[in-house]
């Protein structure tokens, strides 16, 4: 007969598993190895790209505009930005897009195209 079914994931299961005694030593890894493996990972590269994009956005737009602007995707050199209202979207697309593109190039973000779209109301 099989044992009882495994408990569903959640904090209670995690507490119960953490309270169980361990009969062998845990695997030891040097922190330097963990950090170096993370820094070379794709997730770290993506975080660095987003940091460069955020720097370009902060450099180009005022805080009032940034409150209504949200980067939603960055893939293959294409940055997608959602804007909260239509008039601001039109202004950014027509009058401020070249400033943003210059800032993105200057920060070395790798962005070659910016897609602007209106954020859906929730």
> Which residue in 109, 44, 98 sits closest to 75, CA to CA?
109
Compute the distance between CA of residue 108 and CA of residue 24 in angstroms, rounded to an integer. 48
> Which residue in 89, 99, 92, 91 sits closest to 119, CA to CA?
89
pLDDT at 91: 92
Q: For 9-41, what is each residue's pLDDT tens digit?
A: 888 888 888 888 888 777 777 888 877 877 777
Compute the distance between CA of residue 81 and CA of residue 19 in angstroms, rounded to an integer. 46
Domain ranges of the chain: 45-122
24: left (phi over 0), alpha (psi -120 to 50) or beta: beta
Asked if residue 120 has pLDDT above 80, the reply is: yes
CATH class of 45-122: alpha beta
Q: For 38-57, what is each residue's pLDDT tens digit?
A: 777 777 777 777 888 899 99
Asked if residue 1 has pLDDT above 60, the reply is: no
């Amino acid at each position: 007969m099989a044992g009882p079914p495994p408990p569903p994931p959640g904090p209670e299961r995690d507490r119960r598993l953490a309270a169980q005694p361990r009969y062998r030593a845990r695997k030891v890894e040097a922190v330097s190895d963990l950090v170096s493996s993370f820094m070379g990972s794709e997730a770290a590269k993506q975080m660095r790209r987003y940091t460069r994009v955020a720097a370009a956005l902060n450099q180009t737009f005022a805080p009032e505009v940034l409150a209504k602007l949200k980067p939603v995707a960055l893939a293959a050199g294409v940055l997608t930005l959602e804007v909260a209202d239509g008039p601001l979207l039109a202004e950014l697309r027509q009058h401020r897009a070249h400033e943003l593109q210059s800032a993105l190039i200057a920060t070395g973000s790798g962005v070659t195209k910016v897609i602007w779209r209106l954020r859906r109301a929730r």
